[in-house]
Amino acid sequence: MRQATSTPASARRPAILAAMQDVMGPLPGEERRVPLDLCIHAEERLEGTTRLRVSYAAEPGDRVPAHLFLPQRAQGPVPGVLCLHQTTTIGKDEPAGLGGLLNLHYALELAQRGLVALAPDYPGFGDNHTDAYGLGYASTTMKAIWNHMRGLDLLQSLAEVQPDHLGCLGHSLGGHNTLFLAAFDERVRAAVTSCGFNSFRKYYGGDLTGWSHRGYMPRIADVYGRDAERLPFDFPDVLVAIAPRALFVNAPLRDSNFEVSGVHDCLTVARPVYEALGAEERLVAAFPDAEHDFPPAEREQAYRFLEEQLA
């Protein structure tokens, strides 16, 4: 576990991001930020919100498929939230309420509360068949970070969105990608991660095979031998890089993917940083008696957290 340090968080963040890029590969430069070229492929009016099936340009030669929810009766611009799906073949359709688990329809539920919500496909899921390595990335993780940054670009481009009131929410795969995005992009004012992390040392007893395949970060195997002790960053560092921005953590007590004591280890490092920055109320964690899930009570708590922090 990373130990707390007296170095200010603002000074630690560049080194943390550099360490993350040692594992994930470099964050793309501005040359990849082409016009969004938003295309609307289908539209469906629902109660209080309109669900659009869209795509937008991530970079030259690559587009991101997504569902975009716009409120029907907003009196002006509202906050926008990027909603990232878990590991599921249907990708964006689950948070959009078109299938999958009822507890993970969070893009639809946030939209029904009056927010703008964008649910994109992670590379390799849903309608996104992009090979990150064919585009020169060292990891699919970094490609996803760039795609999600472009999702923030899209939200900021919409007249319906308050451009400085952006959040991100995700479960499991979407949970840790929420953290990665928030670490790299300070436009994320509030983040919600559900079943998204623990310390690498406690992930399946230190077996990092699940983190090292092509869908994540192959360098964890190829460069660091799947050894948590050799990795230059861990999730306590990611949380520190997000501070003092708002962060809600859903960490069920019986999550077999992300054993809860490893979550506590990360929070033990992050809390003093938030406290030192006068932002202790912006780091909130819930520990429901559940498995790898986002139960209704914790979703409601998370939604209220986002609404308060993005107001």
pLDDT 10s digits, 278-292: 999 999 999 999 999
pLDDT of residue 3: 46
**pLDDT at residue 261 greater than cutoff 90:** yes
pLDDT of residue 74: 86
pLDDT of residue 2: 47
Confidence of residue 10 (pLDDT cuts 50, 70, 90): low
User: Rounded mean pLDDT of 36-41?
Assistant: 99
- Chain mean pLDDT for the chain: 97
**pLDDT at residue 31 greater than cutoff 70:** yes
Q: How do residues 198-218 score in pLDDT, each as one tens digit?
A: 999 999 999 999 999 999 999
User: Rounded mean pLDDT of 36-42?
Assistant: 99
**pLDDT at residue 108 greater than cutoff 50:** yes
**pLDDT at residue 87 greater than cutoff 70:** yes
Q: Say what percent of the chain tops pLDDT 90.
A: 95
User: Rounded mean pLDDT of 217-224?
Assistant: 99
pLDDT of residue 155: 99
pTM: 0.96
**pLDDT at residue 6 greater than cutoff 60:** no
Q: How do residues 42-55 score in pLDDT, each as one tens digit?
A: 999 999 999 999 99
Task: Pick the more confident residue, 265 or 2.
Answer: 265
Confidence of residue 73 (pLDDT cuts 50, 70, 90): confident
Secondary structure of the chain in HEC code, one letter for each residue: CCCCCCCCHHHHHHHHHHHHHHHHCCCCCHHHCCCCCCEEEEEEECCCEEEEEEEEEEECCEEEEEEEEEECCCCCCEEEEEEECCCCCCHHHCCCCCCCCHHHCHHHHHHHCCCEEEEECCCCCCCCCCCHHHHCCCCHHHHHHHHHHHHHHHHHHCCCEEEEEEEEEEECHHHHHHHHHHHHCCCEEEEEEECCCCCHHHHHHHCHHHHCCCCCCCHHHHCCCCCCCCCCCCHHHHHHHHCCCEEEEECCCCCCCCCHHHHHHHHHHHHHHHHHCCCHHHEEEECCCCCCCCCHHHHHHHHHHHHHHCC
Task: Tokens for 74, please give them.
Answer: 């907003």
Confidence of residue 9 (pLDDT cuts 50, 70, 90): low
pLDDT of residue 4: 46
